[in-house]
Amino acid sequence: MAQSSKTLYVGLDVHKDSIAVAYAPEDRGADVVSLGAIGPRQCDIDKLIRTLHSKGAALVFVYEAGPCGYWLYRYLTRKGVRCDVVAPSLIPRTPGDRVKTDRRDAVMLARSMRSGDLTSIYVPQIEDEAMRDVSRGREDAMRDLKAAKYRLKAFLLRQDIRYEGRATWTAAHLRWLADVVCPTPAQQIVFQEFVRAVTEQQERVQRLETELRDQVTRWRLSPVVEAIQALRGVELTSAVILVAELGDLTRFDTPRTLMSYLGLTPSEYSSGARRQQGGITKAGNTHARRALVEGVWAYRYPAKVCRHLQLRLETLPAEVQAIGWKAQVRLCKRYRQLTARGKHVNQVVVAIAREMAAFAWAIARLVPLAP
């Protein structure tokens, strides 16, 4: 029996233990068919492909990005089947629809894919995702370290044990902690456990930072990581976070596209002759946006090439150094101008971060990557 030349759009609602399946024929007037749920194993996927190939010559799979990752996308791609991963926040939904089931989600994905209403996301390569996991693991460790320090300081405050020094977690502060004596033996044990927790988290952060520095030297995007460190406020860890989260920055056609992806563009609610803009959209990647915003604080001060920045610039091409200096002169001046106009500091920082992303994009375009 000859196969049909039409395409089948297959929606997958992926969960840990099951995958709900529905397909929509290419004909817009045809109904979407639900096939129920299958298992998440590769043999289950193979059986599904064989079943669908008997109905249509070409298959287009689609599923939402979620906690199950990209293994399904990579497996289907290796099988020679097209697969798109879509952003859950950009899937069209009917406001009055109050019923949500796996079957309805799969049907909606298939129908929306057929009509072209879905926005596909960028799926990183396995090596890029591994680097991103290392950088995110370091961020998690930093967050846990901060929480451990907070618990220790809160415990001491409850005992009215106060440090009179100028800064905490310096060598002097650590010596002071070693001499702390709590009112009771039980509280002393709790105090020592808090101190030990801080020490363990510090060691965890150091291990992950060492691994990050080791892995980045063998990464295909290592030249981009080195190049964007020409920007003031972007050191190694910030550069790794930015590139690991965004991938190849040149995949964005224009700087404005990159700004939009980072969620640094203003939101808008306009109707008729009325145009109203609000805060930034905060769409896209939060890790990369946070790395940019943290780096912006360096532009509060006058333009200057400090010793640490000079060391980073020594190995970079002259055109990259020129962009870095141009960015520093412009963004430092921009920070002063916006502050003088009475803008809130958070608005100023976001505005500088938006332009900083454009300079990072310009630098990335100058860096050749290994094939």
Residue 363 has pLDDT above 60, yes or no: yes
* Chain mean position to CA 24: 32
Q: Which residue has the tokens 């460190």?
A: 229
Q: What is the mean pLDDT of the chain?
A: 93
Per-residue model confidence (pLDDT) at position 5: 56
What are 200-229's pLDDT values in tens digits? 999 999 999 999 999 999 999 999 999 999
What are 289-328's pLDDT values in tens digits? 999 999 999 999 999 999 999 999 999 999 999 999 999 9
Residue 281 has pLDDT above 90, yes or no: no
Per-residue model confidence (pLDDT) at position 2: 42
What are 106-141's pLDDT values in tens digits? 999 999 999 999 989 999 999 999 999 999 999 999
Retrieve residue 171's tokens. Answer: 């060598």
Residue 3 has pLDDT above 60, yes or no: no
Q: 77 with 68: CB under 8 angstroms?
A: no
Alpha carbon separation from 232 to 138, 255, 299, 318, 365 (Å, rounded): 22, 19, 8, 16, 18
Query: What's the CA gap between 10 and 110, in Å, rounded?
Result: 5
Residue 1 has pLDDT above 60, yes or no: no
Of 311, 351, 307, 304, give the one whose Cα is nearest residue 328.
Answer: 304
What percentage of the chain carries pLDDT values higher than 90?
84
Residue partners of 288: CB distance under 8 A and separation at least 6:
241, 242, 245, 246, 262
Of 244, 251, 250, give the one whose Cα is nearest residue 225.
Answer: 244
Residue 266 has pLDDT above 90, yes or no: no
Lowest-pLDDT choice from 224-228, 234-238, 272-276: 272-276
